[in-house]
Structure 1
Amino acid sequence: MTTITVLDSIMGSGKTTYVINMINTQHTKDLAQSFANADHEPTRFLVVVPLLSEVDRFTHSCPDLRFKDPQPVHSRKLYHLERLIDDGENVVTTHALFRMLDRTIYGKLKSKGYKLIVDEALECVEMFDKLSEKDRKLLFDNNMVYVDKDTRRLRWNYETHPDYSGRFTDFKHLCDIGSLVFIKDKILLWEFPSEFLTCFNEVLVCTYLFKGSPFYAYLQAEGFDIHMNTIMDGSLCEWDEGRGDEKIRSQLRSLITIYEGPMNRRGDANGLSNPLSSTWFGKASPEELKGLRSSTETFFARVAKSPSKVNGWTTFAKVKAKLAGKGYTRGWIPNNAKGTNDYVDKQAMAYLCNWFYHPVIKGYFHERGITVDEDMYALSAMIQWIWRSRIRRGEPIHVFIPSERMRGLLREWLNPVVYHSNSFKRAA
């Protein structure tokens, strides 16, 4: 099985620069070998980035490799991507398009010997909510789909509907590539087909806090070998349980001011309740939401004392409208934001979230013998979000994190720590 190499290094440590230099160096080596051996096949790269804005960095920084960005052909980028792979071109594309690849394209990737480079961990397991209860019942009642008992994958029934074409065509495609997992009570998960990763000669993932990601849990469940590296002082070295990023975290510690005051009481742990979690917001009273909104307004106006144009905030999308307030509403930044510079001028940040795994996905991994690290998962999401601000330029910021749990995780991370199986502890 393909070994997954992970370049786990803190933001600002030079991961992308290292990868670009590696690609250009490999190209130079391939040119030299082609002179000695006319049959030498050059290394072909498929680079996957979170956003379209990141595509240009690779095309401009690796000019000799002539990276191609798939464009709509017959209104389909996937069609152009397939043509590019047929021609053996180096390709840079987004996570969104990569998720759409089918078995035909993967077969071509394997035959061409591509190396896969993934910037940021892939979203590999999600709740599948694109099918209504009525449509799900229709599919099952008409024997259009069935559940493979060995794999729990949802499969299209070609015996009863061999030539189907209609409004379920996209759903049929997902069944064909094995992306839909059937959970009890007809709950469906979308899952990236792990066998597709074996079509690449090498797989390199560039990220941070990888062991807290669902992608890590997923690769463990699928039996992949994972080799961890990091970047320290610009050089590649073995990953060392989190100690390699202490220098940068020390610098960030002097730039991040965490609000510590009475307005944080709204996020204090209370028995089995997890304030500011998605579940908590689903049950929160109008008075509780009003109080949180008022505290956020006060933070920006009286604590950070910042103009609205430099204020950033987030929460779960379902309560965004209820928490929008004076002086910060237009500074909304999605809580899953990563890989973008669009918010680099923000200097005061309100993080109104308390992250947990979706219980169904957590249970799915548990059934497969994998224990997930919810604290590292939550910390990773929060740090990525905070990193959208001007701190990426080395400028100070002020943050309001009323969740006692999330605030504690950030404090622990900012101080010298060593990661030990599912918990962060202060270094001696």
Structure 2
Amino acid sequence: MREITGFNMTQTINVVDAMCGAGKTSWAIQMINDTEKVGFGTSEQYEKKYIYVTPFLDEVDRIQKATDIDFFEPEAKGTKIKSFEALITLGKSVATTHELFKRLDLNILDVIEEKGYTLIMDEVASVLEQYDISKSDINLLINNETIEIGENDKVVWLDDDYKGEFSDMKILAQSDNLILQNGVAMFWTMNTRAFEAFDDVYILTYLFDAQSQCNYYKANDIKFKKYSVKNTGGIYELIDYDPKIEPRKEVYEKLNIYLDDENNKKKSPLNSNYDSREKLTQKQRYYQLSSSWFRKTANPEDLKQLNNNLRNYFRQVEPTENKYIFWTTISDFAPKLKNAKCKWNKNNDRTNDNFVALNARATNSYGNCTSMAYVYNRFVNPMEKNFFREYEIEVDEDKLAVSDLIQFLFRGCIRNNEPMNCYIPAERMRTLLKRDGLMLVLSF
């Protein structure tokens, strides 16, 4: 198996894999606050320095307020990346976002290693992204000797003076992070130095085995060990991974899912009336509401029916005030499905918008919402699937799909152990949730 980035990890990554609300962040805050001080007088300082990475800025604020150590946030003056570099050069603990963490270059990672930091990453990182470029443009860049393809299919940038259309691609290539797969697709991959440079690494997530970051670790032969969180009287500790301590069955039973009429073997209207094709095969039903269904199969009437279904569900099936609703679909199609109950606008104004991105994680902003809709059927990008296959890693699409669905569910009031109404019109997603999702204690 070839490595993506060519570095050999020596330490083991600590993956805290526990259900949302189990206390992962509380444990991390407790660990930080238990950090001892060393030295005396003006030279006194904490024995450990931390970089805390989270998806959202409001979580950065939470960490700053909840910890005894002073966490600094990179400032927007100049550039945040320069501010980040200045802070770690001074040996300060830093709280920042995933988006900024992705942009750390090798020089900054060298400083992190020199200073001796502990990384706490709230939710998995985006470690793999397809770069949007056509095959003809790739060939043009190669023929013009702007780039060449080096060892392990790395994209090597040759023209240091280039200032054209693909200047952003130049930055990725010069950071040793760009790979060409089979001559047709480019992928940005996070350099393993982003994890190797730290003394200790803790990843706080749920169902890690289903995530791309897990596949990335396997492709790079990065060792990791999973832990569960145990809460004893408000004191949190890590124990060997044990999903059986999680109340998955109890949580599932609190989800009021709009289901088909199983007794009469009939499809409930809102789960079946949005596809105008006649006599659907099992395979066709399997792919309903996938990206390809939305982009290639659905006609305007199908989308109109989905729009009506959403409105009817929140008005008639489970009447809910707009402020207690959250919903999602492919962002490109949200404007076509928005209605009087399902709000959407590009400014993401919470007072007029109850749409939540498909990949939303680590936010508590919707914990008061009692009803939700997940109008999507999650599959892996075929290019990404083929990418990992090159490294002899088979992506489990079902686990990934149900993991994303569960993460979305836990944005709502179920995270507070309260019943929640769920409209999940894709038959495959409902099946996975029951079969392989919150009931999957025996399958891990």
> Does the alignment reach a TM-score above 0.5?
yes
Which stretches of structure 1, 4 residues or more, deviate above 6 A after TM superposition? 38-41
User: Which amino acid in the other structure matches residue 218 of structure 2?
Assistant: Q
Q: Cα 1:5–1:376, aligned 2, differ >3 Å: closer, same or farther?
A: same
Instruction: Quote how far apart the aligned CAs of 1:40 are.
Output: 9.9
Q: Secondary structure at the match of 2:141?
A: helix
Q: Secondary structure at the match of 1:205?
A: strand
8 A Cα contact 1:313 1:332, kept in partner: yes
CA distance in 2, matches of 1:66, 1:145: 44
2:77 is aligned to: 73
Matched, 1:358 2:381: yes
CA distance in 1, matches of 2:372, 2:45: 53
8 A Cα contact 1:258 1:399, kept in partner: yes
CA distance in 1, matches of 2:434, 2:443: 17
1:146 is aligned to: 148
1:14 is aligned to: 23
1:392 is aligned to: 415
CA distance in 1, matches of 2:259, 2:94: 47
Name which of 285, 294, 306 aligns with 1:292: 306
Name which of 227, 232, 236 aligns with 1:229: 227
8 A Cα contact 2:436 2:443, kept in partner: no
Instruction: Quote how far apart the aligned CAs of 1:348 are.
Output: 1.5
- How do residues 15-414 of structure 1 correspond to structure 2 at under 5 angstroms? 15-25=24-34, 27-28=35-36, 30-31=37-38, 34=39, 42-63=47-68, 65-74=69-78, 76-129=79-132, 131=133, 136=138, 138-148=140-150, 150-157=151-158, 161-164=159-162, 168-233=166-231, 234-240=236-242, 242-245=243-246, 247=247, 249-261=248-260, 262=268, 263-266=270-273, 270-273=281-284, 274-283=287-296, 284-329=298-343, 330-412=353-435
Deviation readout 1:55-88 (Å, 9 max, x if unpaired): 012211222x2111111232x0000110111111
Higher helix share: 1
Q: Which moved more, 1:270-279 or 1:352-361?
A: 270-279
Deviation readout 1:110-156 (Å, 9 max, x if unpaired): 11111111110111111112x577865553332111111x2111111
Q: Which moved more, 1:409-418 or 1:253-262?
A: 409-418
Q: Secondary structure at the match of 1:60?
A: helix
Deviation readout 1:214-262 (Å, 9 max, x if unpaired): 000010000011111111334321013x2231x2x24423432001141
Q: Cα 1:41–1:51, aligned 2, differ >3 Å: closer, same or farther?
A: closer
Structural RMSD (CA) = 2.4
User: Which amino acid in the other structure matches residue 119 of structure 1?
Assistant: D
CA distance in 1, matches of 2:196, 2:92: 20
Q: Secondary structure at the match of 1:223?
A: coil
Deviation readout 1:259-318 (Å, 9 max, x if unpaired): 114122358984333111111111212232222222222211111011233222111112
Q: Secondary structure at the match of 2:47?
A: coil
User: Which amino acid in the other structure matches residue 288 of structure 1?
Assistant: D
8 A Cα contact 1:306 1:348, kept in partner: yes
8 A Cα contact 1:266 1:403, kept in partner: no
Q: Cα 1:128–1:167, aligned 2, differ >3 Å: closer, same or farther?
A: closer
Deviation readout 1:161-186 (Å, 9 max, x if unpaired): 34445664432221011221112343
CA distance in 1, matches of 2:252, 2:195: 38
Q: Cα 1:371–1:132, aligned 2, differ >3 Å: closer, same or farther?
A: closer
CA distance in 2, matches of 1:266, 1:153: 48
Q: Secondary structure at the match of 1:151?
A: helix
Q: Cα 1:332–1:172, aligned 2, differ >3 Å: closer, same or farther?
A: same
Gaps of 5+ in 1: 422-428
Instruction: Report percent identity of matched pairs.
Output: 33
Alignment coverage as a number of residue pairs = 405
User: Which amino acid in the other structure matches residue 272 of structure 2?
Assistant: R
User: Which amino acid in the other structure matches residue 358 of structure 1?
Assistant: N
Gaps of 5+ in 2: 1-9, 261-267, 344-352
CA distance in 1, matches of 2:422, 2:387: 34
Instruction: Quote how far apart the aligned CAs of 1:326 are.
Output: 3.4
User: Which amino acid in the other structure matches residue 90 of structure 2?
Assistant: D
CA distance in 2, matches of 1:362, 1:372: 6
